[in-house]
Amino acid sequence: MSRAWTAEAFYTQLEEPPTLAEYTQQARDFVARHVAEKRKVVLVTQSGGTTVPLEKNMVRFLDNFSAGTRGAASAEYFLEAGYAVIFMSRQHSQFPFTRWYSHTTNPLFDLLEEPAEGEETVQVSQAHVQGLLPILHAYHEAKRRGRLLTVPFVTVIEYLFLLRNMSEVMDPLGRHAMQYLAAAVSDFFVPADKLSEHKIQSDDQALTLQLEPVPKVLGSLVASWAPNAFVVSFKLETDEKLLIPKAERSLHKYGHQLVIGNLLQRRKFEVVLVEPHDHTWVRLPSTSAAPPHEIERDIVAAIAERHESWIASV
Ligand code: 9Z3
């Protein structure tokens, strides 16, 4: 029989990741600076999945499809909108700014000219300068102004501990805090006491895995960790009929401000913003070509506007 983990049991019985205290302190300092400057801060949880190790000395793991584009792109647009960003970054997933040149369709080395024999400077080829410059400026500006804090994670356990601590340290921001929970969090995991120490041997045998349900922590986040924050969660479905009803159910159950619903197949082109008495579609004009304009730009604009009205409403 598998256990049904409550959030409380999860956080008291599982061991804290060793790096948690250090990242929590970094976030506390970051938040204090932005509280003093009266700036809004958003916690963006990377959409690039959460790893579920199958061995303590991990050779194999379970994961999901997401490369983390939603989170990385949204972080850039939040910075552009004047927010400071705590970016919970899943290792090896897309990262704000560098994402433009980190994948095989646009490799970094194609940007650079090969120097002549004996030359020791490397230049960006003229054809790429125009595209690169705004990204490079925005990246350096975010760094120079201390607007982007990255906290890395790999496993679902690291993710859940970080999420709790990041939410709690943002409390001094009051309504100026936003949680933007884009991560595609695993629904199942193997707790440490059930994990094989070493690489599972195949021995030509079938492998049976017993996975335990990951506790749903959104309730704790909304009620206890971040009771003053503007909380945006995501709902992913593959069946269109379920999208709005399930987003509404989540909003009703947890009592937060907004759920962004998206379908796996059309997530780059349309999402629906579900609020307590309303829902609004955000759509790119065409689904036929690769979007020249990313939908995250429009999502962030719509959310930032709602956050602002919500701050003003007290
Ligand atoms: C999302 O729905 C994200 O938008 C995506 C983005 C993971 C689809 P990519 O970055 O993907 O474009 O590759 N994230 C949340 C998905 C999720 O697991 N939500 C849970 C659920 O639907 C609730 S928290 O039950």
* Tens-place pLDDT, residues 196-245: 999 998 887 888 989 999 999 999 999 999 999 999 999 999 999 999 99
Q: Which is nearest to 297 in space by CA: 152, 81, 107?
A: 81
Indicate which residue's Cα is closest to atom 20 of ligand 1.
Answer: 235
Q: Is residue 271 in a domain?
A: no
Indicate which residue's Cα is closest to atom 17 of ligand 1.
Answer: 184
Q: Is residue 280 in a domain?
A: no
Ligand 1 center from residue 131 Cα (angstroms)? 29
Q: Are 60 and 200 in contact (CB under 8 A)?
A: yes
Ligand 1 center from residue 262 Cα (angstroms)? 8
| 3-class DSSP assignment, residue 54 | coil
Q: Are 20 and 161 in contact (CB under 8 A)?
A: yes
Q: Is residue 240 in a domain?
A: no
Mutation choice for ligand 1 from 186, 254, 258, 267, CB with most ligand atoms inside 8 A: 267
Q: Is residue 95 in a domain?
A: yes
Ligand 1 pocket, CB under 6 A: 47, 66-70, 182, 184-185, 233-236, 262, 267
Q: Is residue 259 in a domain?
A: no
- Domain extent, residue 201, equals 7-110+123-231
Please give the order of strands across the beta sheet that includes 258-263: 148-153, 84-90, 41-45, 177-181, 230-237, 258-263, 270-275, 278-283
Indicate which residue's Cα is closest to atom 24 of ligand 1.
Answer: 234
Phi and psi at residue 125, to the nearest 5°: -70, 140
Q: What is the pLDDT of residues 171-202, one digit of tens each?
A: 999 999 999 999 999 999 998 888 999 999 88
pLDDT per position in the chain (314 positions), as tens? Answer: 566 889 999 999 999 999 999 999 999 999 999 999 999 999 999 877 788 999 999 999 998 888 899 999 999 999 999 999 999 999 889 999 999 988 667 888 889 999 999 999 999 999 999 999 999 999 999 999 999 999 999 999 999 999 999 999 999 999 999 999 999 999 999 988 889 999 998 887 888 989 999 999 999 999 999 999 999 999 999 999 999 999 999 999 999 999 999 999 999 999 999 999 999 999 998 755 554 799 999 999 999 999 999 999 98
Q: Is residue 242 in a domain?
A: no
Three-state secondary structure string covering 240-300 = HHHHHHHHHHHHHHHCCCEEEEEEHHHCCCEEEEEECCEEEEEECCCCCCCCCCCHHHHHH
Residue with tokens 């009266």: 38
Ligand 1 center from residue 260 Cα (angstroms)? 9
pLDDT of residue 108: 87
What is the DSSP track for 59-87?
S-EE--S--SHHHHHHHHHHHHTT-EEEE
According to DSSP, the β-strands at 270-275 and 278-283 are antiparallel
Q: Is residue 77 in a domain?
A: yes
Q: Is residue 252 in a domain?
A: no
Q: What is the pLDDT of residues 293-310, one digit of tens each?
A: 999 999 999 999 999 999
Q: What is the CATH number of the domain that holds 170?
A: 3.40.50.10300
Indicate which residue's Cα is closest to atom 22 of ligand 1.
Answer: 235
Q: Are 273 and 282 in contact (CB under 8 A)?
A: yes
Ligand 1 center from residue 47 Cα (angstroms)? 6
Q: Among the atoms of ligand 1, which is closest to the Cα of residue 237?
A: 22
pLDDT of residue 157: 95
Residue with tokens 């309504």: 175
Q: Give how many domains the chain has, as a whole number.
A: 1
Ligand 1 center from residue 184 Cα (angstroms)? 4
Q: Among the atoms of ligand 1, which is closest to the Cα of residue 233?
A: 24
